[in-house]
Amino acid sequence: MKVKIESLLSIKGNKAPNEGPQIFDLRRAKDKNTVTRLYSQKKIQFITDDYREQQKELFAINNPKLVYTPNFTNDFVDYIRDLEKKIPLWNKGNGFFFPGCRV
């Protein structure tokens, strides 16, 4: 049986995800467990994390005199190391899970 692309697009295009995004705070044990479960069930297919890059931008904004110096990278690494002494980077901020998103 041959299916026309128009029918496939209309069927799939009219279905909205049944859930909105879920927001996780990985400092909470419940959220860590939920993310672990979603990952093991292969519901999380793709992870992107811009936190380190965002920290680099913030470090540059807060330290403009260091930006174009040869030691900028080393200074930033020291800054990140100090941040991680307080709490691991993966444990900062919130995580978002979009159930209807398939990459």
Note the pLDDT tens digit of each residue in 3-24. Answer: 677 776 666 555 555 568 888 8
What is the predicted pLDDT for the residue at 98?
Answer: 81
Q: What is the mean pLDDT of residues 52-60?
A: 93
In angstroms, what CA-CA distances link 82 with 1, 5, 77, 78?
Answer: 62, 55, 9, 6
Q: Structural domain boundaries of the chain?
A: 21-97
Instruction: Judge whether residue 27 has pLDDT over 80.
Output: yes
pLDDT of residue 3: 66
Mean per-residue pLDDT for 74-92? 89
Looking at the predicted structure, is the pLDDT value of residue 2 above 70?
A: no
